[in-house]
Amino acid sequence: MGERDNSLPDSNGVHGEVLIILPREEWKRLRRLDVERIIRENIEKVEETLMAEYEEFLLKKKAKLEKKLEELEKDLERLRRFYEKALQERELMMRERDRLRKENKELIEKLKLKRSRG
């Protein structure tokens, strides 16, 4: 038996070799056939099958990516709403801070006036 090639596929996702393991009787039967002719006659069907499987794989991957994109868009929308709310609350806090400064200033002036009279 040949050694198994466990290397990574090339950029096209293809290994350089294919290892087929057959029972002894099947091998004897195949040796009597013209395997090369059979392969040549069926290569188009094999290519079509592989292309269909690859297309199915890509469609599944696309569906997963679209679902992930949808989730990310929902997360982004939640973050936008949170940010807008934070900006509104910041504005509210700034107004309240200014109101309290003004009130504090008035109270300090009243206290100074009261101390100067008394």
| pLDDT on residue 3 | 60
Report pLDDT for 60.
97
Find out whether 70 and 78 touch, Cβ atoms under 8 Å.
no
Distance, CA of 13 to CA of 68 (rounded, Å): 24
Using DSSP, state whether 48 is helix, strand or coil.
helix
CA 10 from chain centre, in angstroms, equals 24
Q: What is the pLDDT of residue 64?
A: 97
Cβ partners under 8 Å of residue 5, min gap 6: 15, 16, 17, 19
pLDDT digits (tens, 9 = 90+) for 58-109: 999 999 999 999 999 999 999 999 999 999 999 999 999 999 999 999 999 9
| Amino acid occupying residue 72 | L
- Give the type of residue at 39: I
Q: What is the pTM of this model?
A: 0.49
